Structure 1
Amino acid sequence: MAVNNRSGDDSRFYIDGRWHDRAHAASIAVVNPYSEEIIGHVAAGSSIDVDLAVAAARRAFETFSRSALDERLALLGRILALLEERAELFAQAIAAEMGAPIGFARAAHVPFALAHVRAQMEVLQRYRFLSVEDGIAIAKEPIGVCALITPWNWPLYQITAKVAPAIAAGCTIVLKPSELSPYSAQLFAQVMHDAGAPPGVFNLVGGTGEVVGAALAAHPDVDMISITGSTRAGVLVAQAAAVTVKRVVQELGGKSPNLFLDDADFEQGVAKGLLAGMRNAGQSCSAPTRMLVPASRLAQVEALAATAAAGITVGDPRDEKTSMGPIANAAQYARVQAMIASGMEEGARLVCGGPGRPAGLAQGYFVRPTVFSDVTPDMRVAREEIFGPVLVIMPYRDEAEAIAMANDTVYGLSASVQSGDPERARRAAAQLRAGQVHINYPAWTSHAPFGGYKRSGNGREYGVHGLEEYLETKAVLGY
């Protein structure tokens, strides 16, 4: 595969250390969400492809699971160096396949993906795989063959969040990237090859979740499956995996609250909250899309939110001035438009945005940055994950009601608290049922564990907690 290939037809899978052409297989069209044109095709994998990849990973596990830490560190270092060297190729691929603005792809998608590799190298350098106390040895050993299913919204970022800890642990991998944003995954497979990953340690099989994902989840020789996707997809994977009692790690949907206490910095915080909710065109499972504010500050918050939304530049993702590109695919675009219509039908008050494309954009899956206010907890826009640039503002009477509203969701992936009083913010954070809580917009780090409560999934990614998902615990008595 030429490393400068960002689109076009690519019918190959990477299995057992080499590329395999599947030109005879059924193909899947890849659509550019800006032009709405087909820019290429990729092969739709089958259960036979899965069997080949899993068998290669199983063979490789015998040796790779016993590899020295220095060998795995060196491999991760070569992967990191190649990702850095090819950063622009990845940014261009991501802009083409899922519509991320090129500036955002360069500033966030790619560097955050690199950070996961760097973090696992840091963890690996200090992690104790064997500890002994009172005659009991606790050994942490690689779990085995890992199937990794990644989504279309953060394609490279989610690949490295799974592949890096699996490699660090000594596991072998079969990756199924989203068929809707496959080019960055193809580029990543070439990185793994060029970095010298031993044959079978990393394998890539593209295709649909219904075929390839289901085959991986049910495969008796897969020891663990890690999926990032919708809650519906996570449930199907868990059901299929249950038969063989494999470990399932899920990072699923979210409807994250952003709680403004009455002493928050509204002038700065509302704009930051809106932009956080609409980052990546709102296509982030942890996006803080429910803004909970004191009823007495509602008019101020609406004005601040409208001003911030007006500052978003929606347009061609290739333009460096663009801050929001299109929704990544047609199905998701239709979903977002339907949810905006639902908000209007159920009586939410439209502050800005609304249905249809922004003015001046006649093509592409573009959505107007939309803010609803006077949203009540029973409305669909308050309860369902929209996965688009839609923010709902929900007024509350007192802090107790605010906490109850924040937790009134089937999800629990992320939450945010804004307050001028650190102790008060910590007390509120302690009451929020979410796997990650942000106080006053802290800097992102690849070491903070990420994962959800309730229907947002189970297990954790990133840092040492992400590594440990790929390890089994063995106790040796009388050591």
Structure 2
Amino acid sequence: MTELLKNYVAGHWVAGRGDGSLLTDPVTGEALVRVSSDGLDLDAAFRFARDEGAAALRALSYGARAALLGEVVKLLQSKRDDYYAIALANSGTTRNDSAVDIDGGIFTLSHYAKLGATLGDAQVLSDGAPVSLSKDQSFNTRHVLTPTHGLALFINAFNFPSWGLWEKAAPALLSGVPVIVKPATATAWLTQRMVADVVDAGILPPGALSVICGSAAGLLDRIEAFDVVSFTGSAQTAAQLRAHPAFVQRGARLNVEADSLNSAILAVDATPGTEAFDLFVKEVVREMTVKSGQKCTAIRRAFVPAPHLDAVAEALRARLAKITVGNPRNDTVRMGALVSRAQYDTVREGIATLAQEAELAFDGGQVPLIDADPALAACLAPHLFVQRRPEQAAHLHDVEVFGPVATLAPYDTSAGDERDAVALARRGQGSLVASVFSNDETRLARIALELAGTHGRVHTVAPSVAQSQTGHGNVMPMSLHGGPGRAGGGEELGGLRALAFYHRRTAIQGPSATVAATAEHAAPYAP
């Protein structure tokens, strides 16, 4: 029988009861490992993290905690080959796609280690200067940020088992808040191995980092008032979480990153033959194919000037035809598998839904797979739709197909600008990211501000940054990650802004000398 991965809780490695859930290779179907959380003493797990882990972390300064993060970075870098092997087997990703997750997670952790070092020996953050509350200036107020006296529970998605852990854990641990991570079952192996390596190295205090693999049942029941929960997944599951007593009655914090119908807009001036046009086409294809389109930030809707619709469609088809799909162990393969056969079936259902009101411009179903059995492997080539009446469409603005699928649609340019494209992008009811491509950098600024109110991030590209731009779907730790409305309403990363979720902001009032003394050993909160 395959190995049963253990959970790390209350300072011990513990195996769950029963056979658990089987993790398989999405290309070959091979059985890999099993996970189970049945029978765990969750009360002891949460109590140990909240008491032992939190106390040990809060006793350290930001600088000391940052140094620990730096040691974790060194450890993870030394074991990258092991992580790549797990990603290949369990996620079916090419080496380049695995790097997005593995190296991206390590880079994010490294960034917070460096940020934390700038905070030095402080254990408190000072938010702004003192403000007088009296005419004679004798009675003042100042806002401070102190680490929350609880733990952080992460309920993560299947697509980023490394980055999804470290982009959340880095600011939490730097803040002095212990972490319990519940990775998505399908790809829990990589998360579990990374936690195991860190635990075995003894870098973090006991209780600072725990992992529970398997069912999430009972986890929210243990959440208390000063705990925080971060969830990445579907809007439907997020709605169920929001109704839990942990948040409704006990007032715990919840950060959600949910479904997102992200957009890319080709500006009016970016006509065929210009560099911005070519950059747009290249980016849409990249976002459709990186990690087989299994990114919460991937481009799902591409809006182009109506006169250029056919030209864009032809350019996209030409590029998509060059994408080789199949077993990532074959060096000629550029795009590997979806995470599982179940996800493959879900994506196929989404494709069928979009086909009800859009025409298929590139049919990945006709693309032969390389070294993969189509009856067994979760491999699916890109599918590009064209929706010629986006203002009348329903599925285009409501159905996110979490795979290598995107829809191309025209926008009205009769006004000579992109106002119709902005209106169509807003039909997504709140998105993580929108990108805009133009040869005119001033035009980009105007469109970005118009999109800002309904998007967590606006990524603008002109020819001058063709080589330096970081990519529509690439989440950088310096920039905000999250989005309003349908995207969940949450915020992550954004430099030191990420620390706010793990701190409590308090107004301290008193004599001017008292208020001044509260900041003597504080670092300024200047995100």
Shared fold per TM-score greater than 0.5: yes
Taking the TM superposition and a 5 Å limit, the aligned residue runs for 1:234-383 are 234-240=238-244, 241-242=246-247, 243-264=249-270, 265-346=276-357, 348-355=358-365, 358-359=368-369, 361-362=372-373, 363-377=376-390, 378-383=393-398
1:466 is matched with: 498
Asked if the contact 1:120–1:467 (Cα under 8 Å) also holds between the matched residues in 2, the reply is: no
1:205 is matched with: 212
Distance in 2 between residues matched to 1:203 and 1:184, nearest whole Å: 14
Asked if the contact 1:341–1:355 (Cα under 8 Å) also holds between the matched residues in 2, the reply is: no
Asked if the contact 1:291–1:394 (Cα under 8 Å) also holds between the matched residues in 2, the reply is: yes
Distance in 2 between residues matched to 1:410 and 1:19, nearest whole Å: 43
Distance in 1 between residues matched to 2:209 and 2:369, nearest whole Å: 45
Q: Which amino acid aligns with 1:150?
A: N
2:143 to 135, 138, 142: 138
Shift of the 17–191 alpha-carbon distance from structure 1 to 2, 3 Å rule, reads same
User: Cα deviations across residues 406-463 of structure 1 (Å, max 9, x unaligned)?
Assistant: 1111332111111111111111111111001110172153211111110211231122
Q: Which amino acid aligns with 1:247?
A: R
- Does 2:451 match 1:408? no
Q: Any gaps of 5 or more consecutive residues in structure 1?
A: 1-6
2:182 to 176, 181, 184: 176
Instruction: Quote how far apart the aligned CAs of 1:358 are.
Output: 3.5
Deviation larger for 79-88 or 458-467: 458-467
Alignment RMSD (CA, Å):
2.1
Instruction: Quote how far apart the aligned CAs of 1:37 are.
Output: 2.9
User: Cα deviations across residues 385-421 of structure 1 (Å, max 9, x unaligned)?
Assistant: 1011011000111222111111111332111111111
- Does 2:43 match 1:51? yes
2:136 is matched with: none
TM-score (norm 1): 0.92
Deviation larger for 187-196 or 392-401: 187-196
Shift of the 383–356 alpha-carbon distance from structure 1 to 2, 3 Å rule, reads farther
Taking the TM superposition and a 5 Å limit, the aligned residue runs for 1:160-199 are 160-193=166-199, 194-199=201-206
Distance in 2 between residues matched to 1:219 and 1:357, nearest whole Å: 48
1:225 to 223, 229, 235: 229
User: Cα deviations across residues 94-122 of structure 1 (Å, max 9, x unaligned)?
Assistant: 221121112321x3221111111112122
Q: Which amino acid aligns with 1:50?
A: L
SS of residue in 2 equivalent to 1:319: coil
1:424 is matched with: 443
SS of residue in 2 equivalent to 1:115: helix
Instruction: Quote how far apart the aligned CAs of 1:357 are.
Output: 6.9
User: Cα deviations across residues 368-398 of structure 1 (Å, max 9, x unaligned)?
Assistant: 2111113543242442110110110001112
Q: Which amino acid aligns with 1:79?
A: V
User: Cα deviations across residues 337-391 of structure 1 (Å, max 9, x unaligned)?
Assistant: 1122223332x22111244774554230111211111354324244211011011
Distance in 2 between residues matched to 1:467 and 1:278, nearest whole Å: 33
Asked if the contact 2:57–2:173 (Cα under 8 Å) also holds between the matched residues in 1, the reply is: no
Distance in 2 between residues matched to 1:8 and 1:266, nearest whole Å: 50
Instruction: Quote how far apart the aligned CAs of 1:321 are.
Output: 3.4
Deviation larger for 82-91 or 135-144: 135-144
Asked if the contact 2:36–2:215 (Cα under 8 Å) also holds between the matched residues in 1, the reply is: no
SS of residue in 2 equivalent to 1:180: helix
Deviation larger for 237-246 or 122-131: 122-131
SS of residue in 1 equivalent to 2:214: coil
2:455 is matched with: 434
Asked if the contact 2:63–2:116 (Cα under 8 Å) also holds between the matched residues in 1, the reply is: no
Higher alpha-carbon Rg: 2
1:4 is matched with: none
Distance in 1 between residues matched to 2:91 and 2:284, nearest whole Å: 23
1:3 is matched with: none
Distance in 2 between residues matched to 1:291 and 1:252, nearest whole Å: 20
2:407 is matched with: 392
TM-score (norm 2): 0.84
User: Cα deviations across residues 55-97 of structure 1 (Å, max 9, x unaligned)?
Assistant: 1111121332232223212210111001111111112112211
1:129 to 114, 125, 137: 125
Q: Which amino acid aligns with 1:473?
A: R
2:7 is matched with: 13
Distance in 2 between residues matched to 1:375 and 1:53, nearest whole Å: 54
User: Cα deviations across residues 15-52 of structure 1 (Å, max 9, x unaligned)?
Assistant: 23331233x34511112111123222111345x43322
Distance in 2 between residues matched to 1:351 and 1:400, nearest whole Å: 26
Distance in 2 between residues matched to 1:236 and 1:173, nearest whole Å: 22
Number of matched pairs = 466
